Structures are given as structure tokens and as C-alpha cells.
Amino acid sequence: MAGKSDLMKRSILSLTVCFNLVCVAQLSQRIEYHWLNQVCADLINCDGGCTACNIPTNSAGSFFGTNAAFIGVSICPLPINVGDNAVFTGGWDLQSGPGKTVIISGIATVPMRIDSIRFRHSIYSIGPDRVKVAYTANAAMAPEEVADVEVPTDFTTVSLADLGCVQPAPGAPMGTFQIRFTPYGSTEGGWALDEVIIVGSTCEASTVGVAELAVYRDATGGPWVDLLGRPMTAQPAPGVYIAAGKRVRVVE
């Protein structure tokens, strides 16, 4: 009897763990830009004859991206592997400005937390040596700078995490967010963008590209605001909140 009881307990535990992992997998959603060499409704091409699909893949209909927009710069697919391209962008300036940028926009029909944004990039020839990244959880508002990083000579992935929730406005069917990449530092060469991956989850859970369960609570003190400067509500979403010049995250 004891052996059967132990076996039953292990079976129940295994089912519970599997159920929890499935729940997390369902909560985590992805938008991925890879610019593969395949036919689609929006193709990037240039005189060199290469083509790249400019439509992202989306893991769910409630969280999806739109075609990347390349503003004020020249673009051309840059082959990386067989069937896989980066996008070469040229014509950047010594100083960053709003007239030249790469825009990635997304839509959430339910409240979604942006757990991580990962992009893989590199310098091309003697192109821009830095890139600014700006983000807004509401595309109606101006993006705010969240990173200013060096552009590597070899393709390297940069990860940004905990960017707050995208909330549909009252009465609106969806919320929108936007990411802007603005390389600068050279008028020659170019900047190559190989991929952008956005990982999101419902605002009641938190993941950063891997299965993870966490519940956050407020610490004493205030006033508290999130990373975009919005006041913390009585029922805050999981994330990083700021008060008195310190970033605080308490995990239970």
C-alpha cells in the first residue's frame, strides 16, 4: 500500500508541474522579426537581387507586431545564412535625430506586459558605432530612451527587460507599443539588424524569455512610478517601480 501511495503522490506532483508549465507557456507570447528569404506580402529588396520578408511571426492573435518601418535611410537585405538575412541600413548621421530611425510597432488586445526585447545587430563597414533605443507602451505618446549601446563589430544580442504593461485605453479595443532604433556616429557604412524578438505575458504573470512564475508586492514608501513615469495603481502589475531614486523589486 505504501508503494502505491508513493507512486500516486509522484504522479499527482508530475501532473501539477506539467500543468503549471503549460499555463506559463500559454501566458508567454512572442513577436519575432527575422527577415527571412521567403515570399510574403511585404518584401524588402534592392539591386543586389536579395529579398527579405518584412512581416513578423506572432505566437498569438492577441499580441502581434506590424511590419518594420525604415524611416529616412536606405535598406537592403544582407545574407547571414542560407535563407536568412539581416537588414542593412545606411545613410545615418553623426548625431541621432527623429528623421532617421527604425520603428517596430506592436498591438495587444489584452493587457500585456513586455517582459523582454532582444535585438541582434552589428556595425557594417565603418558605420554608426552607437544605437539609441526608445520605447513607449502607448504609441500615442512619445517614446523615451531606454538604452544607448555600442554597436559591435560582430553580431551580438542585446536584451532589455521589464518594460511595463501595454494597456488598452478605456473603451479601446487594443493597446499599442512602439520601439525605435536610431544608430548614430557615422555617415558612412551602415547598421545591420538581424532579428528582434519581443516576449510578453499577461500582466498577472512575469516571464523574461523563459518559464518563470513570480508575484511582486509593493514596498513601503512612495510616491511610486513605473519605468515610464506612470503612478502605481492600487493593484499594480508585476514589475519594477521607482521611488526616492532607487529601483525596487520585491519578490514573494
Residue 38 CA to residue 56 CA, distance in Å, equals 12
CB contact at 8 A, 24 and 213? yes
Task: Assess whether pLDDT exceeds 80 at residue 123.
Answer: yes
Dihedral sign for Cα atoms in the order 22, 28, 34, 39: positive
CB contact at 8 A, 181 and 89? no
- Residue 226 is predicted with a pLDDT of 56
Answer yes or no: do 230 and 175 share one domain. Answer: no
Answer yes or no: do 47 and 158 share one domain. Answer: yes
CB contact at 8 A, 127 and 186? yes
202-249 residue pLDDT tens: 987 444 444 333 333 333 444 555 555 566 665 666 655 555 443 444
CB contact at 8 A, 108 and 171? no
Asked whether residue 21 is domain-assigned, the answer is: no
Mean pLDDT to the nearest integer, 70-83: 94
Answer yes or no: do 198 and 232 share one domain. Answer: no
Asked whether residue 90 is domain-assigned, the answer is: yes
Query: How many domains is the chain partitioned into structurally?
Result: 2
The range of the structural domain enclosing residue 224 comes to 214-252
- Residue 65 is predicted with a pLDDT of 96
153-184 residue pLDDT tens: 999 999 999 899 999 988 899 999 999 999 99
- Residue 230 is predicted with a pLDDT of 64
Task: Assess whether pLDDT exceeds 70 at residue 119.
Answer: yes
Answer yes or no: do 186 and 144 share one domain. Answer: yes
Mean pLDDT to the nearest integer, 49-64: 91
Mean pLDDT to the nearest integer, 70-92: 95
Asked whether residue 144 is domain-assigned, the answer is: yes
Asked whether residue 171 is domain-assigned, the answer is: yes
> Would you place residue 59 in the very low, low, confident or very high pLDDT band (cuts 50, 70, 90)?
confident
Asked whether residue 7 is domain-assigned, the answer is: no
- Residue 238 is predicted with a pLDDT of 62
- Residue 6 is predicted with a pLDDT of 53
- Residue 207 is predicted with a pLDDT of 45
Asked whether residue 231 is domain-assigned, the answer is: yes
Answer yes or no: do 154 and 240 share one domain. Answer: no
Mean pLDDT to the nearest integer, 56-67: 93
Contacts of 241 (CB under 8 A, 6+ apart): 218, 224, 225, 226, 232, 247, 248, 249
- Residue 132 is predicted with a pLDDT of 98
Answer yes or no: do 220 and 111 share one domain. Answer: no
- Residue 3 is predicted with a pLDDT of 53
Residue 88 CA to residue 77 CA, distance in Å, equals 6
Burial of 106 per CB tally in 10 Å (0-12, 13-18, 19+):
buried
Answer yes or no: do 34 and 124 share one domain. Answer: yes
CATH number of the domain where residue 151 is located: 2.60.120.260
Answer yes or no: do 139 and 227 share one domain. Answer: no
Q: Which of 107-111, 128-132, 199-203, 242-246 has the lowest mean pLDDT?
A: 242-246
28-43 residue pLDDT tens: 899 999 999 999 999 9
Answer yes or no: do 197 and 223 share one domain. Answer: no
Three-state SS string across the chain, please?
Answer: CHHHHHHHHHHHHHHHHHHHHHHHHHHEEEEEECCECCCCCCEEECCCCCEEECCCEECECCEEECCCEEECCEEEEEEEECCEEEEEEECCCCCCCCCCEEEEEEEECCCEEEEEEEEEEEEECCCCCEEEEEEECCCCCCCEEEEEEECCCCCEEEEEECCCEECCCCCCCCEEEEEEEEEECCCCCEEEEEEEEEEEEECCCCCCCCCCCCCEECCCCCCCECCCCCECCCCCCCCCEEECCEEECEEC
Asked whether residue 162 is domain-assigned, the answer is: yes
